[in-house]
Structure 1
């Protein structure tokens, strides 16, 4: 390669680094802005709820990603160079990759909890989806560990740009394949189950309000998450080394924002349903005798917050 080509490749690589920094910073701004916008709803509908597994996982997702993205923005902004040894660089990258796996697992499980609240008690989909979720997470953890091992073999700290860099391009596309498979299968199953139970979306059924709203938000969630994961996978395959993670942090922020919105919106709708029940409590109490318990709105409220999710 002649000097002109070498110089050109260096310029392109530096441009890609700058673009990666800007896109990552944009993702952090979106995450922080949305966090501030939804903080009031978070306090009202999440913090005030009883402490349960779902609540703890939701808060871990919200603040784990926010804190990590804050640290990542500081170390990658190009204004302040944080020098690292190769060992520290490998440890930080490994931690970031595992943190991404944990956040995706939490997002998937929270969505499953919301899906389960729209199903009849003891529905077979609950056990099937839980088993599928556990299987996918075991596969995802294994793939993540394999990718980290491959990345660490070619990872070093580049003092020229002040970033962790790769001496050769590692294979990272496997990071998003298991999650993409999980979301496609679960979404297809939910669509089939909803169509198989027409009453679940009956406007005259109080429970149908929650189901319809969740299904509407779920479609948006699926489209956004799937698009982001496909974009990540494509870029991981076709992009040069200098831009292999060009949109990773932006997409991480986008996935967290989308999941948070889905959960908070469903919590708001459940709270509004309960307020409606309480305001109509007197009239409902008069009509309660002889009423079919399967349409009891108090029972619907309990089903909207089962013990597994609890809030």
Structure 2
């Protein structure tokens, strides 16, 4: 509670770079508030969809992952703001807060990526081979990231800030400790590139010959999301080479927020386009139908492999399959 009270009472900035002069707090604060604004604006924009399409539905794996990914992002951004903006924390408190903020951020990414991995499994043939590969890929990548992040955090030592009015938490990284973060971001990029190409391969192989608007939407959204997340990961890996520990925390938080935004929007979009409201337009002239209704009409063209795991938001073919 003392950490929270101090963090809320004090405002400032902190890059934690012992080789640099006192930082320009405005730039760091602007970056943090920009990230927070993205999260809040997206939440307010999609809250009506959540209330309409998520709340009434029965509980499933996807619904649970949706709520964890969506609301955990608010928890980890709070810890990051407390760590980066406080100017009156003791070194030990800084270390604890950084550990909590970092692990919370990674955990938020892990839950968000679970939704994206289920998407890949959903558009595959759901065979044992792809199931085993995706499971091993998911576990190995994220287990390695937890280890690398823990190694990096252990390599940091905290001292009293020489600029207490500007820099609250002053960290001194051990020599070559930056390689842990390089491998951390690198593993994320490599994993996302592999999944991206798997999605492209599945999409081209399964849906090239099938006239399915919904299938196209499902594949398109996943491809765009993975491409954007991969780009963010590459940018983080590049900036990490020269950034301080604190700024790396903000970079990781940015990536975590976009993971949460993309993953939850994916679920909401799928539930929206497959909602019962689309059926109410069934007898309207074609020119008056919505894009969602037209997309739903193409279910008869969806190949048998298009079974969407736990995704309750898609009605598959004769409504005998629900995902």
TM bracket, shorter-chain basis: 0.7 to 0.9
Given the alignment, which residue of 250, 256, 259 partners 1:252? 256
Question: What is the alpha-carbon distance in structure 2 between the residues aligned to residue 237 and residue 229 of structure 1?
Answer: 13
Partner SS state of residue 94, structure 1: helix
Q: Residues 28 and 70 of structure 1 are in contact (CA less than 8 Å); yes or no, is this contact kept in structure 2?
A: no
Given the alignment, which residue of 169, 185, 189 partners 1:176? 185
Pair 1:242–1:173, CA change in 2 (3 A): same
Question: What is the alpha-carbon distance in structure 1 between the residues aligned to residue 152 and residue 303 of structure 2?
Answer: 47
| Residue range with higher mean Cα deviation, 14-23 or 124-133 | 14-23
Partner SS state of residue 166, structure 2: coil
Q: Residues 136 and 178 of structure 1 are in contact (CA less than 8 Å); yes or no, is this contact kept in structure 2?
A: yes
Map 1:182-221; keep pairs closer than 5 Å: 182-198=191-207, 202-203=210-211, 208-221=212-225
Q: Residues 54 and 110 of structure 1 are in contact (CA less than 8 Å); yes or no, is this contact kept in structure 2?
A: yes
State the partner residue of 2:292: none
Counterpart check, 1:125 vs 2:140:
no
Q: How far did 1:124 drift?
A: 3.1
State the partner residue of 2:170: 165
| Residue range with higher mean Cα deviation, 34-43 or 160-169 | 160-169
1:114-137 Cα deviation digits (max 9, x unpaired): 222223343632232122111212
Given the alignment, which residue of 71, 76, 91 partners 2:96? 91
Partner SS state of residue 155, structure 1: strand
Q: How far did 1:181 drift?
A: 1.6
Counterpart check, 1:37 vs 2:45:
yes
Question: What is the alpha-carbon distance in structure 2 between the residues aligned to residue 18 and residue 90 of structure 1?
Answer: 23
Q: How far did 1:70 drift?
A: 3.4
1:126-165 Cα deviation digits (max 9, x unpaired): 23212211121222222122122113xx234533324322
Question: What is the alpha-carbon distance in structure 1 between the residues aligned to residue 110 and residue 59 of structure 2?
Answer: 20
Question: What is the alpha-carbon distance in structure 1 between the residues aligned to residue 302 and residue 215 of structure 2?
Answer: 16
TM-score normalised according to structure 2 size: 0.73
Map 1:100-111; keep pairs closer than 5 Å: 100-111=105-116
Q: Residues 87 and 165 of structure 2 are in contact (CA less than 8 Å); yes or no, is this contact kept in structure 1?
A: no
Q: How far did 1:53 drift?
A: 2.2
Given the alignment, which residue of 21, 24, 35 partners 2:32? 24
Partner SS state of residue 304, structure 1: coil
Question: What is the alpha-carbon distance in structure 2 between the residues aligned to residue 237 and residue 95 of structure 1?
Answer: 23
Q: How far did 1:240 drift?
A: 5.2
Unpaired runs of 5+ in structure 1? 1-8, 281-294
State the partner residue of 1:291: none
Q: Residues 16 and 243 of structure 1 are in contact (CA less than 8 Å); yes or no, is this contact kept in structure 2?
A: no
Question: What is the alpha-carbon distance in structure 2 between the residues aligned to residue 232 and residue 168 of structure 1?
Answer: 18
Pair 1:110–1:242, CA change in 2 (3 A): closer
1:156-180 Cα deviation digits (max 9, x unpaired): 4533324322224741223322221
Provide the aligned C-alpha RMSD in A: 3.4
Q: How far did 1:37 drift?
A: 0.5
Pair 1:188–1:246, CA change in 2 (3 A): same
Q: How far did 1:47 drift?
A: 1.8
Q: Residues 61 and 103 of structure 1 are in contact (CA less than 8 Å); yes or no, is this contact kept in structure 2?
A: yes
TM-score normalised according to structure 1 size: 0.76
Partner SS state of residue 83, structure 1: coil
| Residue range with higher mean Cα deviation, 173-182 or 183-192 | 173-182
Question: What is the alpha-carbon distance in structure 1 between the residues aligned to residue 110 and residue 271 of structure 2?
Answer: 20
Q: Residues 69 and 260 of structure 2 are in contact (CA less than 8 Å); yes or no, is this contact kept in structure 1?
A: yes
Q: Residues 221 and 258 of structure 1 are in contact (CA less than 8 Å); yes or no, is this contact kept in structure 2?
A: yes
Partner SS state of residue 145, structure 2: helix
Question: What is the alpha-carbon distance in structure 1 between the residues aligned to residue 19 and residue 191 of structure 2?
Answer: 40
Pair 1:130–1:251, CA change in 2 (3 A): closer
Q: Residues 105 and 252 of structure 2 are in contact (CA less than 8 Å); yes or no, is this contact kept in structure 1?
A: no
Partner SS state of residue 127, structure 2: coil
Pair 1:74–1:102, CA change in 2 (3 A): closer
